[in-house]
Amino acid sequence: TVGKTITCKAAIAWEAGKELSYEDVEVAPPKAHEVRIEIFYTGVCHTDAYTLSGKDPEGAFPIILGHEGAGIVESVGEGVTSVKPGDHVVALYTPECKECKFCKSGKTNLCGKIRATQGKGLMPDGTSRFRARGQDILHFMGTSTFSQYTVVADISVVAVQPNAPMDRTCLLGCGITTGYGAARVTAAVEEGSNVAIFGAGCVGLSVVQGAVAQKAGKIIVVDVNPAKESWATQFGATDFVNPTKLPEGQTVVDKLIEMTDGGCDYTFDCTGNVGVMRAALEACHKGWGQSIIIGVAAAGQEIATRPFQLVTGRIWKGCAFGGIKGRSQLPGLVADYLDGKLKVDEFITHRKTLAQINEAFDCMKQGDCIRAVLNM
Ligand code: NAD
Ligand code: AHE
Ligand code: ZN
């Protein structure tokens, strides 16, 4: 297959708001500094549904979605030295070139090298490697893992330990790394600090794991779904608050301030709801509390608070992919998983095949789903 176009199955999003279509796609061979990957497993993330809905300002169609994938390198283009055919890999929607202003800053995991073309759904040379029904199909987040074969930039892929099962490592491509990294890298939660996590999905529960690893004091999970209490406890939360069950007149902010003697040291929004983001900021301790926005809000939504909240020392920030540099740090997370220090298996509540992808999207929208993993 090396150097040749591969015809395989993919789930194509032809139009916003419509079901995905499982059909043949032609995947061109990788050009210079590109890698063709046989995807074995992919997770389904809310951000895929968000872009499919048509609300993502960067979303264009037709497109192959998916950004939580693991597989094996099939072939590489000219000049690729970081991975080779046969390597077990995870696709990276946050690439790491190690040479741009961002990568060299030491201040962020965002990489600027290919962000412009990635946002347009194209490979770095401005073209697509996918064709179906005689037309070009766009790439998504530089990964497009809802295809049995995909082509990515060589800076958008990392080789990981081959003894780590790919149906688990795929989840390190987004949800788990995002939450775990937010607690360990972006917030760098200190020992004994009080933490509140809004939203106990894959991302929020991964923040809980990160907070446990950082030896946080109180780890308070806030969720409107009562079924999330046992999930929170299983991952190491010390307390659970359901904002819909508070006494009349008490807000979730009042409750958290009361539980933490003045406010939390760190809070995390893992819901994407801008009202929740405000509550998370205002539940922070005066003088130093930090609130980290992780959730992706719908297009057009804005956050608000009284500026006095910041004047009095609360800090509002956010992160993508948990602040983790994929090529440098993902093998470390896989090692944590292999050593039993990072839970991954526990997140998989649903398993489907690529052909059943629309069912997986339906599952994701139910309260009992943490992650649905697709076998390609
Ligand atoms: P999820 O839907 O599985 O979990 C969200 C949880 O929030 C659910 O348990 C839900 O009951 C709870 N919730 C909803 N409204 C609430 C409210 N008002 N108060 C308290 N809890 C509430 O989602 P997920 O997969 O964990 O992802 C969370 C968010 O993070 C999504 O918006 C997703 O798009 C985003 N995301 C961001 C990044 C990033 O890099 N920044 C990466 C992955 C996902
Ligand atoms: N394209 C959207 C924004 C979507 C977004 O915030 N994406 C996150 C990852 S979510 C993963 O599930 C991200 O990485 N953002 C940083 C980046 O560079 O895209 C929009 O509003 O335009
Ligand atoms: Zn995601």
Q: What is the pLDDT of residues 233-261, one digit of tens each?
A: 999 999 999 999 999 999 999 999 999 99
Q: Kindly name the residue from 34, 38, 45, 51 that is annotated as catalytic.
A: 45
**Ligand 1: residue whose CA is nearest its atom 29:** 295
| Tens-digit pLDDT profile for residues 330-374 | 999 999 999 999 999 999 999 999 999 999 999 999 989 999 999
| Inter-helix orientation angle 202-213/228-235, to 10° | 30
Q: Is 319 a catalytic residue?
A: no
CA of 322 to the centre of ligand 2 (A): 12
Q: Structurally, what CATH architecture does the domain formed by 176-320 represent?
A: 3-Layer(aba) Sandwich (3.40)
| Residue 320 in contact with ligand 2 by CB distance below 6 A | yes
**Hey, where are the domains in the chain?**
6-173+344-375, 176-320
Q: Is 88 a catalytic residue?
A: no
Place of tokens 């201040």: 107
CATH 3.20.20.140 fits 6-173+344-375, yes or no: no
| Tens-digit pLDDT profile for residues 261-275 | 999 999 999 999 999
> Which of 240, 293, 294, 362 has the most ligand 1 atoms within 8 A of CB, as the residue to mutate?
294
CA of 177 to the centre of ligand 3 (A): 10
Which residues fall inside 5 Å of ion ligand 3, going by CB? 45, 47, 174
Whether the predicted interface score ipTM is above 0.90: yes
Q: Is 127 a catalytic residue?
A: no
Q: How many CB atoms lie within 10 A of CB 134?
A: 6
CA of 138 to the centre of ligand 3 (A): 18
| Tens-digit pLDDT profile for residues 195-215 | 999 999 999 999 999 999 999
Q: Do 158 and 84 form a contact (C-beta atoms < 8 A)?
A: no
| Inter-helix orientation angle 252-259/274-282, to 10° | 30
How far apart CA 53 and CA 144 sit, in angstroms, is 17
| Tens-digit pLDDT profile for residues 147-191 | 999 999 999 999 999 999 999 999 999 999 999 999 999 999 999
Q: Kindly give the number of the ligand 2 atom that is closest to the alpha carbon of 115.
A: 18
| Tens-digit pLDDT profile for residues 34-74 | 999 999 999 999 999 999 999 999 999 999 999 999 999 99
Q: Do 324 and 333 form a contact (C-beta atoms < 8 A)?
A: yes
| Residue 224 in contact with ligand 1 by CB distance below 6 A | yes
